[in-house]
Each structure stands twice: as structure tokens, then as C-alpha cells.
Chain A
Amino acid sequence: MNFAIAKKFAKKNLKANRSLLIPFVISSGIMLMLFNIMASLLDNQYVRTRHEMLLTFMILGLAVIAILAVIFVLYSTNFLIKRRNKEFALYGILGLEKKHIRKIISLEYLVLFALIGLMAVIGGYVFGQLTFLGVNKLMKDVSGGLMDFPFSLKAFVMTMVALVVLYIITVARSTVGIYLSTPATLLRKGHSGEGEPKSRYLLMIIGFASLAAGYIMALTIKGVLSALSYFFIAVGLVMLGTYLLSISFSIIVLKALKKRKSYYQPVHFLNVSGLLYRMKSNAVALASITILSTAVIVTVSTTAAIYGNIQTMATNAYPRAYQARYYGKVNKENYKTVEKNMAQYVYDTAKDPQHIKNVYKTFNMSIYCQENGNKFTSYKEGAKPCYLEVTELNGYNQLFHKKVTLQDNEVLMNTNVKKQLPQTIVLKDKTYKVKPVSDNLLGQYGVDAYGIVVKDVDTMLTISDDIKIRQGADKMVNARVVPEMNWDLEGESNEAFYTKLKKNNHNFSVYTRQEYLKSVYELNGGFLFLGIIIGIVFLTGTILITYYKQMSEGYEDRDKYQVMKKVGLSDRLIKKTSASQVVWMFFAPLIVASIHCLVASKIIFELLQMFAITRYMQYGIYFIAVLLVFMAVYFIIFKLTSRAYYRIVQ
């Protein structure tokens, strides 16, 4: 076969199959475009020097996109092959050799991948610039302009390599079936997916067990550390459960409906059997749509919540704009002097002592120790570490504007570990009565910890004597009591003040909320960026699978309608029942995904305590917003893909 004939075939085929191929080109184009954008940012000098933290996210994102691109391409190719088996069989019967068919297929995909490559390169460059500006904005970096984002040759090469790899995978996948079978078997393959669906009870039981285990995990896990270690296990279990139940439980329910007395009612009769038939061929696609939808909602809402709570996070870590701490040795004799010197030093630095406002002074101490019931003792090798964050009452009253008093043997207590606080605690051998409080005593704590407020600095120093902490390999030392002063500045230039503060500094470490915010925006802006990119990737997948599912249903329904009409079904009944089935097939994944997300929101909330989110609604508000937006988007997808469906059916 010469090239001209192959070209003719390929051209004709591309034209004939365009409604199947356009979504393939668009979805693959978007994936590679995102790949190109990520690679460009990764290669960008400005990003490399200014946003080092972002690089890790980029590499992660690049890997996720690459893996998903391969999965989506394989999915699309499988779908296309199924639709075209008959066509290939016919070529075989009409006398084309297998290598000729391969030639035609290679040529077709060459054209398609050229289009995809074009989209990836041009779209990647144009949207890359937008992304670059967007990333800088997310990170509150105002200095980056478009001249900092030149065309990246390295990213171009990487994208081309990805393109070629995907091309080879696609052509190999498309031709291997033709090489392994005869035209006769290919012809029959068009009818695969038929056969009575079996009730697979074992799969259903495993599915329910796996889903229940995942749900229970998500709902009952307390504390950040365990949430972190169980999160991905829970995700895996829920995914497995979703797939298994989709292929088993749905069929079992529908078959049970069929056995009911009321089965032989026209609408019920058509709907139950119709859904059963649809589930048989679409169960896996539905489960995939559910999982991808869940992934979109979870990723975007989580990262948006983290980003949105940056200010809260900074306020937790730094209650005032400035903070000074003294890391020298503090004991019963010198702590008052240190505190005084620190204040003196701050007031002296300001042009006018009146400019120092909202001062709040305190002492605090971090201990990691060993927890045994309500007893806390020095840490020993191998035990689960437990953190105590100790402050004194005076600082507590200032920070929270309270007037609490404490006896010698009383402490205020709070924890981010979700369990009941004990009535009393024993620190080494002294017993304290616990008065629980709801204030955040832990500031910006990521791990499980207890916040304790004691009567005064003397008590702190006693505790520091009693419970030793480890230093180096085997040395046990007293925990350090740190005097701390927080204040705001009003009425003079922050820069000048800060420069002077640092220059004059001898013993004190100074921090500003501003600097902290900058680092957090960089980190969390990166999170949000990654969340958005991965959200787009998952959404692309959702749309692609939905579209193909609608198409394949459309082809099946077209033949069915003709028969139904001949058998005496009215147009009205056909339309009514098929519309309700299509709606079911479409909204079932959304409903399941919403439930998954709702359950997931519990464990995610636990995780988000790392990011200063301590009340559920701090996350819930983002969750609900993203869910609603996603529902709207999903509905638009439904409307658009339904059009493709009805075009085929009519």
C-alpha cells in the first residue's frame, strides 16, 4: 500500500469519526498543555530563584499529570477501538493486510497528535504566561512581570518527549488488538459487553467492607498525625469500595427491583431493565466519574481553605506584628530582669515609646515528654512523644483579655488531640487540678499537643526541673523557659524600626508577622496552585469520561428506540423513560461523590489543623462553596454531553 492511499483512508476516517476524536484531541491537548506549563515554570529562572518551595509542588504536579495523561489516553484509545472494531474487521475482509491497517492508524494518530502538540505548545505558552502571573499573585509577589517568563526550550523538549511517548502508547494499544485477532473475532467484539449481568455478592461484601472501613477511618481518626498516616489508606479503601459496589451492588439492587411484584408496570419495567443494561456496560465509567469528581472537590476545597486561612495562621503564630524572644538561660533569679531588659530594648528602638502598642509579654516553654494516662514524665527511648506547651497565667490573661486566677495546684488546659481532658494531671510527681479552656493555647502547632497555663514563672521553672528533655543523643536537660514580648508598632516606618531593631540586637531574636506571612504565602500559594492544576486535570478527565459514556449510550439507545417503536411504545414513553435513565446515570456519581466528600471533610478537617483551621466551618465554608460550584459545572457538562447523546439517538 502506498502512502497516498493510506493518506486517503486516514483522511476519510478522521472525518467520519470526528465526533469521537475531537474530545480525545481536546482532553489530551489540555493535559499536555498543563504539562508544558508546569515544565516551563519549573525551568523558569525567576521561579527557581524566587519561589524555591514551589519547585517541589511543580515536580509533584508534573508527575501526577504525566500519570493521568497516560491513563486518560489509554481510556480514550480503548473506547475508540471498541467503536471501530467493525471498521477494522471490514478492512481485513476487503483485503487490507494488518500492516496496512497499522499504517492507516499510525497516520491518523500522527495528524491528531500533531494537533495535540500544537495545542500543548501554543496554549502552553499563552496560558503559561497567565499562570506565571497568577502564581506570583497567589504568592503575593508583585515584582514578577511577563519579561520574566521567556519561552522555555527545555519545557518544549519535555512536552515533545511526552507527546511522542503518548503517541507510541496509543498506536501500540490500537494495533495490538488487530494483530492478535482475525477479522471474524473483531466483528464479534463490537457486541462485547453483552451477557446477563451476574449478581456478585462476594464483590459486594468486599466493597461494603472496604467502603465502611474507609468511612469509619475518616470519621473517627483524631489528631493530625494519625489523620496524615491514615488519610491515603482511607482514600484507597473508599476508591476500591466505590468500584466494587458500582459493579456489584448496583446490579444486585436492580435485580432485586426486578423480582418485585410491581416490576410489570410500564415505566418501572422499562426503567429497571434499561438501567440494568446500562450499568452492565458503564459501571466502571460511573465509578471513575465518582472518584474523579470527589478528587476535584476535595483538592480544590482543601487547598482553597488552606490559602484562605493564611491570615488566621499568621495571627496564631504571631499575635502581634512583632515578637522578640530571649533564648539565653533563664532562672528564678534573672527572669524579671530579662523581661525588663527586653521591654527596655524595644521601647528604646522606637522613636517614641508611645508608638509601641498592644504589648503582651509572656513566658513559654516547650516540653516533649512521655504520656501515661494523666501522668507526664521525662521522655524515654521508644515511647510515643507527647508535646506540652506551657505558658504562665499573666501572659494568658493579656492575650485573651481575661482575668482568670489560679491556685498553686491548678492549671488551665487545652489540647488539639480530640479526647477528653483528664480531671487532674501529674507532672512527674506533682498533681494539678485541670480547668479546661477553649482558647487556642497551642498557637501554630501541627502535631498532637497539650497547652497548659500555670500560675507563674516559678511554677514553670519547677516543671522544667522536673521533666527533662533530651538534648543530642543521651543528654537530658531542663526545658528552656523563653521570655517573649509581642507588640504592634504605630506612627513610624516599619522598615526603619525593624532594621534598627535587628542592628541593635544583642541577645534577643526578633520576628515579624510580615516575614512569616511571606514564607507562608509562598508555601500555601504553591498548595493552592497545585490544587487548581490538579483540579483542572481531574475535571478534564471527568468531562472526557462523561462524554464518551454518553456517546456509547447514545449508540446503544439508537438501535433500541427503533425496536421499541415497532413493538408499540409511544414516543412519549420512550422519551420519558430514557430521559430518566440518562439523568440517573448522570447524577448517581454526583450524589455518591458528594457523600464521599462529606465524609472526607471530617478527616481533612483533622489534617487542616496543621494550617490553623481549628473550627470545622473555617473549612466547611470553602467545602460548600466548591461543592456548589462543582455541581453547577457538572450540570453544564450534563447539558453539553446530553446534546451529543440526542444527536446520535435522533
Chain B
Amino acid sequence: MALLELKNVRRIYKTKNVTTTALKEINFTAEAGEFISIMGESGAGKTTLLNIIATLDKPTVGSVILNGKDISSLKDNEISQFRRNELGFVFQDFNLLDQFSNRDNIYLPLVLSNENEAVMKTRLDQLKDQLGIAELLDKYPFEISGGQKQRIAIARAVITKPSLLLADEPTGALDSASSEMILNLFTSINEAGQTVLMVTHSLRAASFAKRVLFIKDGIVYHEIYRGDHESQQDFMERINQAQIVLSRGKH
């Protein structure tokens, strides 16, 4: 059974005079252990799609099934808990809270689930070397660099052992060296069994995934898989080609 399944998802925004169709009809499934990139130009509906999967927004029509559960039917009081237990988030602008030390920022979702301190500590111990954050834990978010912040944010996202890790342009605010490091982290997390869904418009970032979905005009237009022995450079070239074909189709 698929981990995530989107069926006929449509999202329409209505204001007084204007009706905007952000997503027309999205269908796709993701299996457990996949690393998927979603690409598309600005306004293609990437962020809307991610927000819907993230339960931050609801589809107008259609259903989103995660782990066999239709998340669009969740009640408001279940959503926060569901989000904490099933989903991990990594944002472009990190979204760390300045009032907490980095350690407490990572603990936050577990504290909210009333996890006991020993469990939190054990889980963080397992993560800190892989993420290279051992030295950062007692500092505060405003004392560390962007790349370091993003590693803290990743730790926060995966410490709950979520079914699905969602990333929204995770390298958007980072320099290339930091970006490379973060993307490599995603790869290694994925190799350890974590399902990852990343929205990006960067070719380089997308090429770290195993599958790339292209969204255009509110539908999934195209998808390509990375071959088993295909180099990352070659895959990036293919993504580039696909994107060129897609944008040519516009004219």
C-alpha cells in the first residue's frame, strides 16, 4: 500500500471577484522510503500542494490519504496532533523559535506529545552526530549560521520519526556549500528509511531525489525517475531537459 496517495486534489481560492485555481487535478502516490522532488515554476501550485499535504490547508475537492488515513477529513482538534506524529517539516526560513535553545527547539514536538525526557535524550543522541549538531545544542538560534539552523530544523523534523518528511525549498536561504551539506543530509536520512517529499525549483536540489514530479498549471505534468546507476550529474541534465520541454510547451 502506498504511504501517501493524492486523488483528484483540487484547490480553488475565491475572493470577492476573483477565482483562482491553484491546483486543478493532482494525482500521485508515494511509496514508503521514496525521496521525491516536486518542481515547477512560481505559481505552478507547489506550495499549495505542500500545504495541503502538510494539513496547513484543505483541498476544495479530492482526498489526501496518508498511512491509510484521509487527512482532509481530520477534525480541527486532531490536526495538530496528527501533524506532530505523522509529519516532519523543514522550511525555507527555518522557523526556529528564538525563545528556546537549539536543544529545546528540537525537543519541542516531543514535549508537546508529552514524551518523557529520557526518550527525547536518546533520540537526540542518535541524531546529533549524523546531523553534526552536537556542539550547537546549548546555543540559541540567533547565535548560529543559516546552514546550522537548517540542520537544527531537520533534527526537529525527524526526531518524532514521522511517516513523511516535508521540505519546502530547504536550501532557498542558504549558500551553495551549506545547501550541498543539507541535501546530502536528506539523502542519508532517506537512505536510513525516511520518506522525503521536497518542493524546490533548484535543479541541483531536485537531482538529489530519486523521483522528480513536475507540476504545471495545477496538474502533475510529468515525472522522471533516477536510474539505478545513473550519476547525479546525468540525472540533473535529464531534469533540465524535461524542464526545457515543459516550458517550451507553454508557447
**Total cross-chain contacts (CB, 8 A):** 66
Contact B98 A194 (CB under 8 A): yes
The chain A residue with its CB closest to the CB of B77 is A570
| Interface size counted on chain B using CB atoms at 8 A | 31
Contact A265 B114 (CB under 8 A): yes
The chain A residue with its CB closest to the CB of B89 is A566
Residues 53-103 (chain B) with a chain A CB within 8 angstroms: 56, 77, 79-81, 83-84, 89, 91, 95-101
- Asked if A569 lies at the interface with its beta carbon under 8 angstroms from chain B, I say yes
- Asked if B218 lies at the interface with its beta carbon under 8 angstroms from chain A, I say no
| Interface size counted on chain A using CB atoms at 8 A | 25
Known pairs A191-B142, A568-B80, A568-B112; A274 contacts B89 (CB<8 A)? no
Contact A265 B109 (CB under 8 A): no
The chain A residue with its CB closest to the CB of B115 is A264
Contact partners of A560 in chain B: CB under 8 A:
97-99
Known pairs A566-B89, A566-B91, A568-B112; A264 contacts B117 (CB<8 A)? yes
Contact partners of B77 in chain A: CB under 8 A:
570, 572
- Residue among A196, A276, A567, A569 with the highest chain B CB neighbour number at 10 A: A567
Contact partners of B95 in chain A: CB under 8 A:
562-563, 566-567
Name the prevailing secondary structure of the A interface residues: helix
The chain A residue with its CB closest to the CB of B98 is A194
- Asked if B120 lies at the interface with its beta carbon under 8 angstroms from chain A, I say yes
Chain A 348-373 interface mask (CB, 8 Å, partner B; 1/0): 00000000000000000000000000
Contact B142 A261 (CB under 8 A): no
The chain A residue with its CB closest to the CB of B107 is A264
- Asked if A256 lies at the interface with its beta carbon under 8 angstroms from chain B, I say no
Chain A 169-198 interface mask (CB, 8 Å, partner B; 1/0): 000000000000000000000010011100
Contact of A568 among B84, B96, B97, B100 (CB under 8 A): B84
Contact B142 A195 (CB under 8 A): yes
- Asked if B111 lies at the interface with its beta carbon under 8 angstroms from chain A, I say yes
Contact of A261 among B89, B111, B117 (CB under 8 A): B117
- Asked if A269 lies at the interface with its beta carbon under 8 angstroms from chain B, I say yes
Contact B98 A570 (CB under 8 A): no
Name the prevailing secondary structure of the B interface residues: helix
- Residue among A196, A276, A568, A573 with the highest chain B CB neighbour number at 10 A: A568
CB distance from A480 to the nearest CB of B (A): 75
- Asked if A540 lies at the interface with its beta carbon under 8 angstroms from chain B, I say no
- Residue among A562, A569, A572 with the highest chain B CB neighbour number at 10 A: A569
Contact B109 A269 (CB under 8 A): no
Chain A 549-565 interface mask (CB, 8 Å, partner B; 1/0): 00000000000101110
Known pairs A563-B95, A563-B97; A264 contacts B112 (CB<8 A)? no
Contact of A567 among B142, B143, B156 (CB under 8 A): B156
Contact partners of A261 in chain B: CB under 8 A:
117
Contact A273 B109 (CB under 8 A): no
- Asked if B25 lies at the interface with its beta carbon under 8 angstroms from chain A, I say no
Contact B80 A570 (CB under 8 A): yes
- Asked if B131 lies at the interface with its beta carbon under 8 angstroms from chain A, I say no
Contact partners of A265 in chain B: CB under 8 A:
111, 114
Q: Within the assembled complex, what's the spacing in Å between the Cα atoms of A573 and B111?
A: 13
Contact partners of B104 in chain A: CB under 8 A:
269, 273
Q: Within the assembled complex, what's the spacing in Å between the Cα atoms of A195 and B108?
A: 20
Contact of A276 among B99, B111, B143 (CB under 8 A): B99
Contact A567 B120 (CB under 8 A): no
The chain A residue with its CB closest to the CB of B56 is A566
6 contacts between A and B (CB under 8 A): A194-B98, A274-B99, A567-B89, A568-B112, A569-B112, A570-B79
Top-7 shortest CB links A-B: A277-B99, A570-B80, A568-B84, A563-B95, A568-B83, A273-B99, A269-B111
9 additional contacts (CB under 8 A) given A567-B89, A567-B108: A195-B140, A196-B101, A266-B114, A269-B104, A273-B100, A560-B99, A568-B81, A569-B112, A570-B81
